[in-house]
Amino acid sequence: MSTTTSAQNPMNPDRTADRSTGPSAGVAGPRHFLSAVPEPDFSSDGGRGRYEEALRRYPGQAIVDLRAMRDNMRRLVSMCTSEGSHAAVMGVVKADAYGHGLIPSALAALAGGATWLGTAQSHEALLLRRAGIGPDRCRILTWVYDGARVPFDELIAADIDVSVGSLPGIDAVAAAARRLGRKARVHVKVDTGFGRNGFTPAGFDEALRRLVPLAREGVIDVVGQWSHLAVADSPDVPEFVASTDRQIASFHDFTRRMSEAGIAPRIRHLANTAATLSRPDIRFELTRPGIGLYGYEPDPAMGRPSTYGLRPAMRLQAQLSTVKDVEAGHGISYGRTYLTPDDTSTAIVPLGYADGINRAASGFDMQGARHVEKPGGPVRVMTAQGLRLLRVSGRVCMDQFILDLHGSASELGVREGDTVELFGPGRGEALGEPTADDWARAADTISYTVFTCLSNRIPRLYEHAPEVLDDGDLALLDPDTIL
């Protein structure tokens, strides 16, 4: 198979930077670099300065478009308030907002109409409140903790809703509420078939025996009932749809048991992004989309983001390090899993697995008797001859990986300092722009891991922040990150 795809469109609008006088220019005048990405939409000259500073600080950047994120949330909210639905929407911002940055993403979700935020870890829920996102703005729910040590006192005091899905969890939250003299808002987690946290149908009577007196006494307020779906991302697979239907039936049964016990939940929630997009019948009072906020469908089998009016919010780009010529048959990187098929040039992308580039996205092309071929992760590179989609050649190292340019760098006009794109919004097939789904495919994983594993040493820079956020919210962002 061929590892290169040249760009089809010579009038490419992305061709924002070019060297008009050829690769040898730039000695005297300002140096120009080829760029496979459009220039960010700067909100001010200050934004441009901060961008250039970020490039000097680190040779890779995650550019997050807050307008895309706000619009994705608007889209999800409009779905949940049409087609017979009247559901509120929770922006799930766990894991540093899937690697997009907790506070900016939370604020963009609120700007798009989310009225809830959700985090797995209680620490992140507290960070949201400490940043100044108060109960007047939104409710916050958190659900992963060790019931013996979680700071329930702090959570209750910060007006954060907590999930309870175990007997020790009930006891601990009740004890904290009594100490504080303040009612704890709880969402009862039920296991309808996912097999993770929550009460099973068999264990639920015991849970009700503890919850009911606490609710009567006013120690806890049973706000919600919730559960999680296992296979909602495969709406075309009949066995999976049947399995989701069984989870829904079980969910209804739990609601009945709560109601009969006198603690009917006011807010039921079950739908993740997949179910929010594909099952309007189970939006209940609240939905919990995560990946949709960041602009992706949960599984490429469901289509592309644009199928649902979503737009990926993150672009990952890097500036090339060493570019050089090598001969045919040259081993590339650890293990010699890639041997250059021809005389060629290589370029180093200075991001590696310590940055969160999955080592499983390494590219193999071993010639000879033991021929093994496996395409690596895709990288979009601008050349003097147009855009090329190249692939990781050889093993991903800790801080860098290598691209076989499949041609001479001087003829291609590719130089150290050029900006390449690992993934972006995927603006149309013709532009050949990879998405996180393409990296997921190359590493045999899911897009979720592509963002959440990006390490903190890659700066996150925000586009369209002043457009999306009011002055008060804007002041909550690290000023160095605003483009």
Per-position x/- string for 226-255, each x denoting binding to ligand PLP as judged by CB under 6 A, each - no binding: --x---------------------------
Residue 187 near ligand PLP by CB under 6 A: no
- The residue (of 36 and 150) whose beta carbon lies closer to ligand PLP is 150
- The residue (of 196 and 266) whose beta carbon lies closer to ligand PLP is 196
Q: Do residues 93 and 352 touch, judged by C-beta distance below 8 A? A: no
Closest approach, Cβ 343 to ligand PLP, in A, equals: 46
Closest approach, Cβ 382 to ligand PLP, in A, equals: 32
Per CB under 6 A, the segment of 269-277, 407-415, 421-429, 473-481 that binds ligand PLP is 269-277
Closest approach, Cβ 308 to ligand PLP, in A, equals: 12
**Binders of ligand PLP among 288-327, rule CB under 6 A?**
288-292, 298
Residue 272 near ligand PLP by CB under 6 A: yes
- The residue (of 185 and 228) whose beta carbon lies closer to ligand PLP is 228
Residue 273 near ligand PLP by CB under 6 A: yes
Residue 92 near ligand PLP by CB under 6 A: yes
462 has catalytic annotation: no
Residue 50 near ligand PLP by CB under 6 A: no
- Which residue's beta carbon is nearest to the bound ligand PLP? 290
Closest approach, Cβ 119 to ligand PLP, in A, equals: 9
| Residues contacting ligand PLP: total by CB under 6 A | 13
Q: Annotated catalytic residue: which of 51, 58, 94, 353?
A: 94
189 has catalytic annotation: no
Q: Annotated catalytic residue: which of 58, 296, 334, 374?
A: 334
Active site members: 94, 334
The site for ligand PLP (CB under 6 A) is made up of: 92, 94, 120, 228, 272-274, 288-292, 298
